[in-house]
Amino acid sequence: ETGVTQTPRHLVMGMTNKKSLKCEQHLGHNAMYWYKQSAKKPLELMFVYSLEERVENNSVPSRFSPECPNSSHLFLHLHTLQPEDSALYLCASSQAGVNYGYTFGSGTRLTVV
């Protein structure tokens, strides 16, 4: 149990589908993050939420839409994705302002067909 839970673990979706990835943290952290991990590429930061406010959006296409309803939950809404969006999507949380890294979830492996 990592303290950060991501669902689903695996997702296959068509390019016209709409789906959502869910992340939940049980650590009392106040910052949450979405990262994308593609094959043979470094982890790419997509979104940062701190105190439930989005503070980072790294030029992510609008077909990815994050939502953070409270400090414990983070969603990534997906629509009209492309095959190149197939990747491992990792959620992480941290305590803001503290010199520690992240606690990661196990990720959602997304395949767009």
Partner 1 sequence: AQKITQTQPGMFVQEKEAVTLDCTYDTSDQSYGLFWYKQPSSGEMIFLIYQGSYDEQNATEGRYSLNFQKARKSANLVISASQLGDSAMYFCAMREAYFKAAGNKLTFGGGTRVLVKP
At 12, the amino acid letter reads: V
Chain positions 50 to 69 lying near partner 1, rule: CB under 8 A, are 50-51, 55-56
Candidates 14-22, 46-54, 59-67, 77-85: pick the segment binding partner 1 (CB under 8 A): 46-54
Candidates 17-25, 66-74, 79-87, 103-111: pick the segment binding partner 1 (CB under 8 A): 103-111
Chain positions 6 to 35 lying near partner 1, rule: CB under 8 A, are 30-31, 33
Distance, in Å, from the CA atom of 105 to the CA atom of 63, rounded to the nearest integer, reads: 22
Alpha-carbon torsion (83, 84, 86, 90), positive or negative:
negative
10 Å Cβ neighbour count for 11?
A: 18
- Residue 55 burial class via C-beta count within 10 angstroms: exposed 0-12, middle 13-18, buried 19 and up: exposed
Candidates 15-23, 63-71, 72-80, 84-92: pick the segment binding partner 1 (CB under 8 A): 84-92
Interface residues toward partner 1, by CB under 8 A: 2, 30-31, 33, 41-43, 45, 48-51, 55-56, 88, 90, 92, 94, 96-107, 109
